[in-house]
A and B are shown apart, each in its own frame.
Chain A
Amino acid sequence: GQNIDQPTEMTATEGAIVQINCTYQTSGFNGLFWYQQHAGEAPTFLSYNVLDGLEEKGRFSSFLSRSKGYSYLLLKELQMKDSASYLCAVMDSNYQLIWGAGTKLIIKP
C-alpha cells in the first residue's frame, strides 16, 4: 500500500531551527510537496521537490532523497506565526496526491 509518515507533533523555540521529516512508500513518484496549514484555514503551498537535493526558499528549505524515500522541511529563524501544521504529500505514478497526516508545529517564545 501507499504510505507517508511524518511526526504528529513537534515543539521548537522562537528564533531556532526545526526539521520536519517525511518518509514515503508510494506507487511511483512524480514529486513531493510541502504545505502549511494554519488552524481553520486551507493549506498553502510551500515547496516542491522532484529531483534529489535541497531547495531553498527564504527561511524555508526542503530536501529530497528519492533512493531513501525521504524528505525534510527545514524552517530557520522560527517565528510565532510559523505555528501551524505542515503537510507532506507525494504525487504517485497516476498523478494522484497521497497525503501525510501532517505535523503540528508548536513554537514557544
Chain B
Amino acid sequence: GAVVSQHPSWVICKSGTSVKIECRSLDFQATTMFWYRQFPKQSLMLMATSNEGSKATYEQGVEKDKFLINHASLTLSTLTVTSAHPEDSSFYICSAREARENSPLHFGNGTRLTVT
C-alpha cells in the first residue's frame, strides 16, 4: 500500500530556533500534501495544503511566514517552523493522496515537536 514517511519523529529545540520537518511519499507521486497539527486530546487541525511547484494554501489563522512550506518535488514536502516558541509545541502530521480518483489520505507517522 501507499506509504508516507515523515522525519523526524520527534524533536526538541530551543525557543527562537527553526525546525524543518520532511514528508515523503515513498511509492507514489503526490501533487498535493497536507500538513496538520494536533494538540493533546484534540482533533486534527488542517494547517495548509502543499501544492507541488506552487505556493501552499494556508488555513485561516495559520501564519504563512512562521510555518514555511515547500513542495519541491512530487514526493517531498517540507514544513519549517521558524522562530519556534513553546506554544508551537505540538504533534505535526503530514498526509498525501495518490493522484487517482477516490484515493484516501495516507498519513506520515507524525512529528512531536517540543520547544523549550
What is the interface size of chain A, counting residues whose CB is below 8 A from a CB of the partner? 19
User: Which stretch in A19-27, A44-52, A54-62, A76-84 binds the other chain?
Assistant: A44-52
Determine if B43 and A30 form an interchain contact, defined as CB atoms under 8 angstroms apart. no
Residue numbers in A under 8 Å from B106 (CB-CB): 45
Asked if B105 is at the interface (CB within 8 A of a chain A CB), the reply is yes
Question: How far does the alpha carbon of A48 sit from the alpha carbon of B1 in the complex, in Å?
Answer: 15
Question: How far does the alpha carbon of A43 sit from the alpha carbon of B45 in the complex, in Å?
Answer: 13
Looking at the assembled complex, report how far the CB atom of B66 sits from the nearest CB atom of chain A, in whole angstroms: 22
Determine if B43 and A33 form an interchain contact, defined as CB atoms under 8 angstroms apart. no
B interface SS class:
strand
Closest-by-CB residue of B relative to A91 is B102
User: Which stretch in A10-18, A66-74, A98-106 binds the other chain?
Assistant: A98-106
Those of B63-115 within 8 Å (CB) of chain A: 91, 93, 102, 104-110, 112
Determine if B104 and A45 form an interchain contact, defined as CB atoms under 8 angstroms apart. yes
Residue numbers in B under 8 Å from A45 (CB-CB): 104-107
What is the interface size of chain B, counting residues whose CB is below 8 A from a CB of the partner? 16
A100/B43 contact (C-beta < 8 A), A42-B108, A43-B107, A44-B107 known:
yes
Determine if B43 and A102 form an interchain contact, defined as CB atoms under 8 angstroms apart. yes
Determine if B104 and A41 form an interchain contact, defined as CB atoms under 8 angstroms apart. no
Among A33, A41, A97, the one with the most B-chain Cβ atoms within 10 Å of its Cβ is A97
Closest-by-CB residue of A relative to B2 is A45
Asked if A90 is at the interface (CB within 8 A of a chain B CB), the reply is no
Asked if B12 is at the interface (CB within 8 A of a chain A CB), the reply is no
Looking at the assembled complex, report how far the CB atom of B56 sits from the nearest CB atom of chain A, in whole angstroms: 14
B residues lining the A interface (CB < 8 Å) = 6, 34, 43-44, 46, 91, 93, 102, 104-110, 112
A residues lining the B interface (CB < 8 Å) = 30-31, 33, 35, 40-45, 48, 50, 87, 89, 97, 99-102
Closest 6 CB pairs of A and B: A42-B110, A42-B107, A101-B43, A45-B104, A42-B93, A42-B109
